[in-house]
A and B are shown apart, each in its own frame.
Chain A
Amino acid sequence: MDDRIVRCLVVSDFNSGNFCGLLNNDKSTPIVCAAAGPYGQVAELLLDLGHPCWRDKPEALVVWTSPETAVPSFHSLLDFQAIPIEQILEEVDRYTSSLLGLSGRVPTVFVPTWVLPPQQRGLGVLELKHGAGAAGALLQMNARLALALRETAGYFVLDAQRWVTSVGPRACNPQLWYMGKVPFSASVFKEAVADIKAALTGLHGQSRKLLLVDLDDTLWGGSVGEVGWPQLSLGGHDPIGEAFVDFQLAIRSLKHRGVILGIISKNEETVALEAIRNHPEMVLRLEDFAGWRINWDDKARNITDLVDELNLGLQSVVYIDNDAGQRQRIRGALPEVFVPEWPADKMLYRESLWQLRCFDSPVLSLEDLARADMYAVDRQRKDSAGAFQTIDEWIRDLRIAVQIEVLDESNLPRATQLFNKTNQMNLSTRRLAAAELWQWSQREQCRLWTFRVRDRFGDCGLAGIASLEWENGRGKVVDFILSCRAFGRRIEETMLHTLLHYARCEKLSRVEAVYLATKKNKPCLDFFQGSGFMQFPENTYAWDVREDYPAPADILLC
């Protein structure tokens, strides 16, 4: 559970009191403490960082404007004056420049896209004609805004049109506008709050990454144990069968964006696996699943077992089951697992999955995209260990190569992700947004490295982070982080070797590591206790840098 409170400033050209109220009262974590800047002063507030509203040093900023205020030419366009699109886009560029002026000062900046009220029909059939309609211009303005901000860490353009569309004709209530200068209904603001909270959850490394699904009447229609796999409702010229195929396709697309899949089902394993292997309309096959528990045991126990096997935490898990009783059981037994309500109508399964925000991630790194496959490879890797007598023999066989890099713009997104979501092998469990991590690494007498790991089974991607800060000839290991997928293969020793080698180059005399205990990082304590470092009170470990800390044999450093 993330118990941090995120200070948030809302800068808008409308009365954002309703929005801030909803944001403050939303109980999902992280809790947000939002304050509204004086409305109608967007440009002034973005330029004047000495304004009192910046005094609390907000960690998140929402800049929400109407298109006609942020881009004055657009106001003229709405009045059907002939305004060249180039002039409008120049004003968009000026606006985005003022937003980018905050880069490095506010870790996270959310900018909802510009929208028009659904009732505003403009020129009707000409709305999307080049040079004529406001809707066409607005598409280009939003595209320009998104392009300008997409490369800057910590900036996120949010799709406000989806909020408005999902609410429908009541998205903009003129009464609220005339009486209170509030342009959107509470329903729109609730959508915005949900998206912003999901984004903050992802930024804190708390997005869900394991989807566990039931089988009968969840992944396919019918009970496979009773009707046999050829009679399952799945695909074919049947609306329900089609809906199940679409649901499976939606699940597979989650896998493609890095969500790990698993099965929890009360069934005969052989019967269920036969269906997955043989049914011609199955989209998801066994190789899509990182693991499964298909038996008649308690599902809560099965979930715990599988999560342990995958080396994940229950807070990573989403469980989907069509059976309300089972959902209730899992919620009661495993409160950390997110069990969404699920519709009885099978034709709503895909939409229900689409609406889940818990998988939202602020970045999609190469590691994310390959994560599900990495778990399958990891199963092979672990299986291979059984053929060796000692861990050294196994490591020799793995032919591990570790690529060491200093933090840079290319590895910052993935490093931030690993930094914020790793719990077990984590010395200090610091949590920083990308911009904060970058700023810290650029300080004098601070250094942060990333470690990419590959072996003969494949590429594990960026799996480790270690950082050092030093003063008066003494160094301190600030971060020591390793993905659970790379534990126990001497990568830990390789990281220490790197830190201490650098410390030697800097002519430091001693390097300390202070272990800060959390509920989950005991593996890190275990490692340091066996690392060869001298142990001191208060979980402090130290190494005399005059003494070499050798790199592990049989690991190639590059």
Chain B
Amino acid sequence: MTDRDHILALIYQAVDEVNLQFPPGQQVPKCEETRLIAGALDSLAFMNLVVTTEEKITSWLGVPLPLVSSLMESGESQLPQTIADLAEFAFRALANQKDG
């Protein structure tokens, strides 16, 4: 499994956790095309998803990956629109961290 695939799997785990807070029928679909902004998630759910994703990636890596603060610093226009975008963002953050 590539790092990108692994990150996507961790995002789906985060989606499962966030979905525990939604009623059946309003749960976030686990697919790359799921829209995060102005889509399936309200602002609280989006925040929960990225925070939970960061926790899971950090737990996997064993070292912190500051995903949330990077997202916030990148500005609203740069926020990931879909789950695929979030995975890509996390993958790049990881690659940058590895490059030092």
Nearest CB of A to B84, in Å: 22
Q: Within 8 Å CB of B72, what residues of A? A: 179
Cβ contact within 8 Å between A18 and B68: no
Contact yes or no, A21 B20, CB < 8 A: yes
How many residues of chain A are within 8 Å of chain B by beta carbon? 15
Which residues of chain A have C-beta atoms less than 8 A from B22's C-beta? 21, 25
A285 to chain B minimum Cβ distance, whole angstroms, is: 44
Closest to A20 in B: B21
With A and B bound together, what is the CA distance between A175 and B49 in angstroms?
A: 12
Chain B contacts of A179 at CB under 8 A? 47, 51, 68, 72
Q: Which residues of A contact B68 (CB under 8 A)?
A: 175, 179
Separation in Å of the A131 CB from the closest CB of chain B?
38
Taking a contact as CB atoms under 8 Å apart, the answer to whether B44 and A180 are in contact is yes
B47 touching A25 by the CB < 8 A rule? no
Minimum C-beta distance from A21 to chain B (A): 3
- Contacts A22-B21, A179-B72, A180-B43 given; 5 further ones with Cβ under 8 A? A17-B21, A25-B21, A170-B55, A173-B51, A186-B17
Instruction: Give Cα A22 to B69, complex, Å.
Output: 26
Is A24 part of the binding interface, using a Cβ–Cβ cutoff of 8 Å? yes
Partner of A180, one of B47, B52, B55: B47
A24 partner, pick from B23, B43, B55, beta carbons under 8 A: B23
CA distance A170 to B54 in the complex (A): 12
Report A-chain residues with C-beta under 8 Å of the C-beta of B52.
186
Within 8 A of B (CB), among A174-196: 175-176, 179-180, 182, 186
Decide yes or no whether B48 CB sits under 8 A from chain A.
yes
Chain A to chain B contacts (Cβ below 8 Å), 11 pairs = A18-B48, A21-B21, A25-B23, A176-B48, A179-B47, A179-B51, A179-B68, A180-B47, A180-B48, A186-B17, A186-B48
Q: How far is the CA of A182 from the CA of B18 in the complex (A)?
A: 14
Chain A 21-34, CB within 8 Å of chain B: the 1/0 string? 11011000000000
A1-33 contacts to B (CB < 8 Å): 15, 17-18, 21-22, 24-25
Cα distance, A186 to B53, chains bound together (Å): 13
Contact A175 B54 (CB under 8 A): yes
- Interface code A144-179, partner B: CB below 8 Å = 1, 0 otherwise? 000000000000000000000000001001011001
Interface residues in B15-60 by Cβ distance below 8 A to A read 17, 20-23, 43-44, 47-48, 51-52, 54-55
Are B44's CB and A25's CB within 8 A?
A: no
Residues of B within 8 A of A25 (CB): 20-23
How close is A33's CB to chain B, nearest CB, in angstroms? Answer: 10
B-side interface size class? 10 to 19
Residue of B nearest to A193 (CB): B20
Cα of A179 to Cα of B48 in the assembled complex, Å: 9
Give, as a whole number of angstroms, the nearest-CB distance from A473 to chain B. 51
The reply to whether B23 and A176 form a contact with Cβ atoms under 8 Å apart is: no
Q: Which residue of A lies closest to B52 (CB)?
A: A186
How far does the alpha carbon of A363 sit from the alpha carbon of B69 in the complex, in Å? 47
Q: Which 9 A-B pairs have the closest CB atoms?
A: A21-B21, A179-B47, A180-B47, A175-B68, A175-B51, A17-B44, A180-B44, A25-B20, A18-B21
Instruction: Contact check, B44 vs A15: say whether CB atoms are below 8 A apart.
Output: yes
How far is A15 from B72 in the complex, measured between Cα atoms in Å? 20
* Chain A residues near B48 (CB-CB < 8 A): 18, 176, 180, 186
Question: Which residues of chain B come closer than 8 Å to A18, judged between CB atoms?
Answer: 21, 44, 48
Whether the Cβ atoms of B20 and A22 lie closer than 8 Å is yes
Contacts of B21 in A (CB 8 A): 17-18, 21-22, 25, 186
Contacts of B55 in A (CB 8 A): 170, 173
A260 to B54, CA, bound (A): 46
Residue pair B47, A176 in contact (C-beta under 8 Å): yes
Q: Nearest chain-B residue to A176 (Cβ)?
A: B51
Interface centre among B20, B22, B52, B72 (most CB of A within 10 A): B20
Minimum Cβ distance to chain B for residue A338 (Å): 22
Shortest Cβ distance from B51 into A: residue: A175
B contact residues around A22 at 8 Å (CB): 20-21
**Chain A residues positioned under 8 Å from B47 (CB to CB):** 175-176, 179-180
Across the interface, which residues of B come within 8 angstroms of A182, CB to CB? 44
Q: Which residue of B lies closest to A173 (CB)?
A: B51
Q: Nearest-CB distance from B48 to chain A (Å)?
A: 7
Interface centre among B17, B22, B51 (most CB of A within 10 A): B51
Q: Which of A15, A21, A170 has the most CB of B within 10 A?
A: A21
- Cα(A438)–Cα(B87), bound, Å: 57
Residue of A nearest to B59 (CB): A170
Given contacts A18-B48, A179-B47, A180-B44, contact A186 B20 (CB under 8 A): yes
A17: which B residues are within 8 A, CB to CB?
A: 21, 44
CA distance A182 to B55 in the complex (A): 16
Name the residue among B21, B52, B54 with the largest chain A CB count within 10 angstroms.
Answer: B21
Whole-angstrom distance between the Cβ of A336 and the nearest chain B Cβ: 25
Q: How far is the CA of A175 from the CA of B50 in the complex (A)?
A: 10
Assembly CA distance A18 to B46 (angstroms)? 12
- Distance (whole angstroms) from the CB of A328 to the closest CB of chain B: 25
Within 8 A of A (CB), among B48-90: 48, 51-52, 54-55, 68-69, 72
A466–chain B nearest beta-carbon distance, Å? 42
Contacts of A186 in B (CB 8 A): 17, 20-21, 48, 52
Cβ < 8 Å to B, chain A residues 355-406 = none
A25 to B19, CA, bound (A): 9
Chain A residue at minimal CB-CB distance from B68: A175
User: Roughly how many angstroms separate A112 CA and B80 CA in the complex, as a whole number?
Assistant: 37
Q: Which residues of A contact B23 (CB under 8 A)?
A: 24-25
Taken together as a complex, chains A and B put the C-alpha atoms of A15 and B69 apart, in Å, by 20
